[in-house]
């Protein structure tokens, strides 16, 4: 046996212990802590631990808002304020990294021991989502070329053709009702991002399955069973990426990943950086837009007059998409860590403290959006929402997501003007992402 094989065998033998350590420190302990906070009446604890509250969080957001723009909670500081979230996102006194230096030794040990590149998710370094400059700048610069307004606009004909094809297939379905998430809202984003990343579209059902399991790793406090499913999905995804990179190194195409795997020596990404970057693009590319599309259809179905007005004047779709992003944001929260002691909203936030930004609540802040609980596709300032975050981590795919949503919703409305929700839509059991697991519709 070579020394490499010995270390591989040791890695494999240690895997269950590592996985258990990762789960315990990232999910088991936070779950216990949040549940205890919830029992003591902590509102954020309830938001995180109570599925019914999570499914309909807006009343709880208002209770939190009544406590002031920045309040202490079981998750550290939390804000529902648009102004405070906006300030934190744009401030270089806050970063995305967690400060582990102050954590108790056993926790630091478990984090280090549990570290496993083969099961890393999109919310773990070196994913650009959770690293600060200068690494963040380096990663973002390498990929942003594929997301310029010009590159995005150039993909419109392909997005339109994909939407048309999926809606043709939908029309051939003989069932009385179809699941619009499964048949359309989930398929379009995965096909679009697969194309951009040169990924074979035949594998899209695999991505959807893996993505659905792995999306939960964005949430704190996952039960062990769901964590293990996510762990398996992430390992399968990394395995697929290894094959994909090898294929593109041998035969590069015109896509973004081909560029990334063939960078000159001085710029090249390490294997772990490459995995983190492509995994994020792939996951962010389809795990979020599906939620925007599902949320849009449910809201428009409940506000039929507004849907009919959009059918009559499709120029309104851009504004309608902004209002859906504001009113029922597909990413409900994010967080930042203070890099030094900071004054924020009249409070002293200590270096290393975490501030949770409830984007879904900031987007209903009455200081910015009059009558925020009213869904109005003609709202003049809907675009001021923070659904795509802000500052240096502002969503790289925002333009692409907007375009996909406008094309998808406009085409769906043209093709099936009498489409109706025909049954109870099921929410996904997630905290950070907000969307539907299934959405039964009758095509009319």
**Burial class, 29, CB count within 10 angstroms (exposed 0-12 / middle 13-18 / buried 19+):** middle
Closest residue to ligand HEM in the complex (CB): 397
**3-class DSSP state of 431:** coil
The nearer residue to ligand HEM, 241 or 400, going by C-beta atoms, is 400
Closest CB to ligand HEM among residues 405, 443: 405
DSSP state string for 372-404: TTS--TT-TTGGG--TT--GGGS-TTHHHHHHH
Scan for tokens 């599925």, then name that residue: 51
Nearer to ligand HEM, 21 or 139 (CB): 139
Token pair 């409830």 in the structure block, residue: 358
Task: With CA atoms as reference, report the closest residue to 125 among 145, 139, 113.
Answer: 139
Residue 438 φ/ψ, nearest 5 degrees? -145, 150
Give min distance, CB of 90 to ligand HEM, in A: 11
**Cross-strand partners of 344:** 347
Using CA atoms, how far apart are residues 387 and 323, in angstroms rounded to an integer?
A: 10
The nearest distance, CB 189 to ligand HEM, in angstroms, is 6
Q: How far is the CB of 322 from ligand HEM (least distance, A)?
A: 11
**Closer CB to ligand HEM, 395 or 443, in the complex:** 395
Minimum distance from CB of 67 to ligand HEM (Å)? Answer: 23
For ligand HEM, the closer CB: 96 or 119: 96
**What is the smallest separation between the CB atom of 96 and ligand HEM, expressed in angstroms?**
6
Nearer of residues 38 and 75 to ligand HEM, judged by Cβ:
75
Phi and psi (nearest 5°) for 130?
-125, 25
Binding site for ligand HEM (CB under 6 A): 128-129, 140, 193, 280-281, 284-285, 288-289, 292, 330-331, 334, 387-389, 393, 395-397, 400-401
Instruction: Report the alpha-carbon distance of residue 37 to residue 34 in Å, rounded.
Output: 5
Q: How far is the CB of 362 from ligand HEM (least distance, A)?
A: 11
């Amino acid at each position: 046996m070579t020394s490499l094989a010995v270390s591989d065998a040791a890695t494999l033998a240690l895997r269950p212990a590592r996985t258990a350590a990762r789960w315990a420190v990232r999910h088991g302990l936070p779950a216990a802590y949040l549940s205890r906070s919830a029992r003591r009446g902590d509102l954020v604890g309830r938001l995180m631990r109570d599925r019914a509250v999570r499914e309909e969080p807006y009343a709880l957001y208002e209770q939190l808002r009544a406590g002031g723009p920045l309040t202490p909670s079981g998750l550290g500081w939390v804000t529902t304020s648009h102004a405070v979230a906006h300030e934190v996102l744009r401030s270089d006194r806050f970063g995305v990294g967690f400060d582990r230096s102050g954590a108790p030794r056993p926790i630091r040990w478990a984090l280090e021991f549990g570290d496993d590149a083969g099961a890393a998710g999109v919310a773990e370094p070196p994913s650009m989502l959770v690293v600060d400059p200068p690494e963040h700048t380096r990663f973002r610069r390498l990929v942003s070329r594929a997301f310029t307004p010009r590159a995005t606009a150039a993909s419109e004909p392909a997005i339109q053709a994909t939407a048309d094809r999926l809606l043709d297939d939908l029309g051939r379905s003989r069932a009385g009702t179809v699941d619009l998430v499964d048949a359309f809202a989930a398929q379009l984003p995965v096909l679009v991002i697969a194309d951009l990343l040169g990924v074979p579209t035949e594998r899209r059902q695999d991505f959807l399955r893996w993505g659905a399991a792995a999306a939960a790793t964005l949430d704190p406090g996952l039960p062990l069973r769901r964590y293990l499913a996510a762990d398996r999905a992430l390992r399968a995804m990394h395995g697929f990426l290894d094959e994909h990179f090898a294929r593109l190194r041998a035969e590069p195409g015109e896509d973004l990943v081909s560029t990334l795997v063939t960078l000159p020596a001085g710029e090249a990404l390490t294997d772990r950086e490459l995995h983190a970057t492509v995994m994020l693009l792939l996951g962010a590319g389809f795990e979020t837009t599906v939620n925007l599309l599902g949320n849009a259809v449910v809201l428009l179905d409940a506000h039929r007059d507004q849907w009919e007005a959009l059918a009559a004047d499709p120029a309104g779709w851009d504004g309608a998409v902004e209002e859906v992003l504001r009113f029922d944001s597909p990413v409900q929260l994010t967080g930042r860590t203070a890099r030094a002691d900071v004054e924020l909203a009249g409070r002293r936030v200590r270096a290393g403290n975490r501030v949770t930004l409830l984007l879904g609540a900031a987007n209903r802040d009455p200081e910015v959006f009059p009558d925020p609980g009213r869904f109005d596709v003609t709202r003049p300032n809907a675009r001021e929402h923070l659904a795509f975050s802000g500052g240096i981590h502002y969503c790289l795919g925002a333009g692409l997501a907007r375009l996909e949503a406008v094309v998808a919703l406009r085409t769906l409305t043209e093709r099936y003007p009498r489409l109706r929700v025909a049954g109870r839509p099921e929410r996904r059991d997630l905290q950070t992402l907000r969307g539907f697991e299934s959405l039964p519709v009758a095509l009319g």
